[in-house]
Amino acid sequence: MIGTPRVPFVAGNWKMNLTRAESRELAGRIAAAGPEFGGSTIVLMPPFTALGDVAAALTGSDVALGAQDLFWEDRGAYTGEVSGPMLKDAGCAYVLVGHSERRQYFGETDATVGRKVRAALKAGLRPIVCVGEVLEEREAGRTTARIDDQLARGLDGFSRDEIERMIFAYEPVWAIGTGKTASPGQAEEVHAHIRRRLEEGYGKTTASCAIILYGGSVKPANSNPLFKEKNIDGFLVGGASLEAESFIGIVREALLAYREEK
């Protein structure tokens, strides 16, 4: 354990799934389970079209709203884009930046990640900055070098205060949607590395308070052993966040681990 025990932080990235009605239904069921969450931070990230519906379904609950991406300008002629102030206006508190699917399919680079992180902070959103290696990089022993690159280039020029408003997510690309989870040991190794880098750059306090999430085929069955690792503060969940039972199960298992170990 590093610093004080941290309650779980679990975010559901719904990706490009669910209609507005389905989103309302799922958000309502998760909000209703609120008393079970024991002070955990829970964030739902629906597609843009359902942000308003999910915001309404979460009213009066402790479950927070997030978006999956943003553009770095506030407004203007940028067809198809959505800005930080718009997300704030829609009720978001968090936004994903640099998800591997954005990097892989939509040309997101470390430089655009940096611009988006800056825009998120300016809008008063907490960015969840995603990093992770592809299988070839892992097999070539270049996992930590890749993570270092993403952190160094994506976070170049940010102050300690800004770093403290960020959340980090380690998502090994080979574990996303594949059913292959990083073992607790594999994930912990990278999480500890990220925390070390934060300590080197911004000091012990900043590093020990940083929230570092794991993502990649998280399910109720692996939530507990992953959360028991010292540097894993919670999860960024894809597929299993589309079912209330499995998402709630992940939070429940993480809470059990927190209560047992931390």
What DSSP string runs through 50-109? GHHHHHHHHTTSS-EEEES--BSSSSSS-TT--BHHHHHHTT-SEEEES-HHHHHHH---
Contact residue for ligand 13P among 2, 13, 23, 168 (CB under 6 A): 13
Q: How far is the CB of 237 from ligand 13P (least distance, A)?
A: 5
**CA angle, residues 146, 151, 155, in degrees to nearest 5:** 155
Instruction: Please count the helices (runs of H) and the strands (runs of E) in the chain.
Output: 12, 8
- 101, 137, 171, 229: which one is catalytic? 171
Q: How far is the CB of 224 from ligand 13P (least distance, A)?
A: 16
Binding of ligand 13P by 243 (CB under 6 A)? no
Residues 249/223, Cβ–Cβ less than 8 Å:
yes
Total chain residues near ligand 13P (CB under 6 A): 14
Active site residue 171: yes
| Burial degree of 169 (CB within 10 A; 0-12, 13-18, 19+) | buried
Binding of ligand 13P by 177 (CB under 6 A)? yes
Binding of ligand 13P by 239 (CB under 6 A)? yes
Q: Which stretch binds ligand 13P (CB under 6 A): 29-37, 69-77, 155-163, 230-238?
A: 230-238
Binding of ligand 13P by 224 (CB under 6 A)? no
Binding of ligand 13P by 171 (CB under 6 A)? yes
Give bridge partners of residue 43 from the DSSP assignment. Answer: 11, 64
CA dihedral 157, 189, 127, 173 (to 10 degrees): 110
Binding of ligand 13P by 84 (CB under 6 A)? no
Contact residue for ligand 13P among 158, 238, 248, 250 (CB under 6 A): 238
Query: What is the 8-class DSSP label of residue 13?
Result: E
Q: Which of 155, 132, 158 is nearest to 145 (CA)?
A: 132
Q: What residues from 43 to 62 belong to the interface with ligand 13P (CB under 6 A)?
A: none
Active site residue 25: no
H-helix or E-strand spanning residue 41: strand 41-45
Q: How far is the CB of 204 from ligand 13P (least distance, A)?
A: 29
Site string for ligand 13P, 86-105 (x = CB under 6 A): -------------x------
Contact residue for ligand 13P among 147, 163, 194, 236 (CB under 6 A): 236
What tokens were used for 251?
A: 């939070």
Please, what's the b/e burial string for 91-110 (b: 16 or more CB within 10 A of its CB; e: otherwise)? Answer: bbebbbbbbbbbbeeeebeb
Q: Which residue lies nearer to ligand 13P by CB, 84 or 132?
A: 132
Query: Residue numbers of the site for ligand 13P (CB under 6 A)?
Result: 13, 99, 171, 176-177, 215-218, 236-240
Catalytic residues: 99, 171
